[in-house]
Structure 1
Amino acid sequence: MAAGRVLFPLLLLFFFALPSSSTNSEGNALFALKRRLSDPNKVLQSWDDTLVNPCTWFHVTCNSDNHVIRLDLGNSKISGHLGPELGQLEYLQYLELYGNDISGTLPEELGNLKNLVSLDLYSNQLEGQIPKSFGRMRSLKFLRLNNNKLTGPIPRELTALSNLKILDVSNNDLCGTIPTDGPFVQFSYQSFENNNRLNGPELQGLVAYDFGC
């Protein structure tokens, strides 16, 4: 009986020392991202999938609860594609992937990042449309997608981003019209320049989809 009384607290200590399952899913999501990327300078070398907790990896920042809140891979010479697993990083606040050679489309699942404050994907080779799901990232303050190959209209769903302070979609191939509601009232022309098929602000409530995008 005495041995049982000693064993029980030890089991409790072991249980609480284990990483949370959410941290494990975050590590899995980041390792899935690593598999999608080409990394000639080996900046992701420390991303070891045998370590459940990714908070020890370079370029990853965690909070006091061991949840991933920041990913810093700007100007890292990585290439490849982004995948839906990024949407599993539910505590992420900063996603910095600018100045690389990342191609393909923007995953719809990025819209699941409700805590994201800054999304910096500028100066890559991204294609396709800006997902409407981005309108769900209500904490977003900085959205920089400039200097890519994005097409299609600016989603009106982005007008719901009441915290958005900085928007830059310049130097793409966007079309249609520029929304005028919500945070768009404060953005200057420079936020949208060098999109040859973008036709200026909306008129009389007409939306971008009406202009043959």
Structure 2
Amino acid sequence: MAARASFIAVVALLALVAGAARASNEEGDALYALRQRLTDPNGVLQSWDPTLVNPCTWFHVTCDQASRVVRLDLGNSNISGSIGPELGRLVNLKYLELYRNNLIGDIPQELGNLKNLISLDLYANKLTGGIPKSLSKLNSLRFMRLNNNKLTGSIPREFAKLSNLKVIDLSNNDLCGTIPVDGPFSTFPLQGFENNSRLNGPELQGLVPYDFGC
């Protein structure tokens, strides 16, 4: 019986290790797909070698004890290019730090798949397009900083459902319409929305929001 129990324990351990390896390989593939989109004049991504078993040895990537990628920190790295949808496959990610770079293009709607994300920092880039409504699915999100880009369109009303959101900064974009007032928006200072010339202030309580100028 003891031998059988030991055998079962070994099989379970091997299955756990194999599962972690598969997850690491998938996450490594997603990160390398991002690498292929980026121009990296300072060589900050030179350690991102797709032939390694997992990406946990790569610089600017942090993993948990199960070798799952939980943090990507490429802030202020002088990289350029687009983000791309592949990052939506990093489902264990908690911190996405891509601020102060030269990133262009849209924010991928696939980032709404990052259900464990706590902090989304994309500020001070050259991102365009609208803010994806899919980000309203990020129920663990506490910090959303998209300021100092070239984002357009309205602030998704669905963000009022983000009950854990503590900080939002959408200032210095080209957003339009009105600012939600429900949920966490009742506590956010207006400084987080300033310098959007087509944004018309908080929506009025009890009235259907109207996106003036959108």
TM-score, normalization by structure 2: 0.91
Shift of 1:21: 1.3
Shift of 1:189: 1.0
CA separation of 1:208 and 1:39: change in aligned 2, threshold 3 A = farther
Partner residue in 2 for 1:102: 103
Residues 33-182 of structure 1 mapped to structure 2, 5 A cutoff:
33-182=34-183
Shift of 1:207: 2.0
How far apart, in 1, do the equivalents of 2:178 and 2:165 lie? Answer: 19
Partner residue in 2 for 1:194: 195
How far apart, in 2, do the equivalents of 1:144 and 1:208 lie? Answer: 24
Q: Show structure 1 runs of 4+ deviating over 3 A.
A: 11-19
Per-residue CA deviations over 1:55-110 (Å, capped at 9, x if unaligned) read 00000000000000000000000000011110000000000000000000000000
How far apart, in 2, do the equivalents of 1:78 and 1:59 lie? Answer: 13
TM-score, normalization by structure 1: 0.91
Residues 18-33 of structure 1 mapped to structure 2, 5 A cutoff:
18=18, 19-33=20-34
Partner residue in 2 for 1:5: none
Where does structure 1 lack aligned partners over 5 or more consecutive residues? 1-7
Amino acid at match of 2:207: G
How far apart, in 1, do the equivalents of 2:115 and 2:32 lie? Answer: 21
Partner residue in 1 for 2:186: 185
CA RMSD between the two structures: 1.8
Shift of 1:48: 0.3
How far apart, in 2, do the equivalents of 1:208 and 1:112 lie? Answer: 28
Q: Contact 1:128/1:151 (CA < 8 Å) preserved in 2?
A: yes
Aligned residues: 204
Where does structure 2 lack aligned partners over 5 or more consecutive residues? 1-6
Q: Which stretch shifts more, 196-205 or 80-89?
A: 196-205
Partner residue in 1 for 2:4: none
Partner residue in 2 for 1:207: 209
Amino acid at match of 1:95: L
Shift of 1:14: 7.3
Q: Contact 1:175/1:208 (CA < 8 Å) preserved in 2?
A: no
Amino acid at match of 2:55: P
How far apart, in 1, do the equivalents of 2:130 and 2:198 lie? Answer: 14
Residue 116 of structure 2: SS of its match in structure 1?
coil
Per-residue CA deviations over 1:16-53 (Å, capped at 9, x if unaligned) read 65552121110000000000000000100000000130
CA separation of 1:93 and 1:14: change in aligned 2, threshold 3 A = closer
Q: Percent identity?
A: 64
Q: Contact 2:75/2:99 (CA < 8 Å) preserved in 1?
A: yes
Amino acid at match of 1:136: K
Shift of 1:135: 0.2
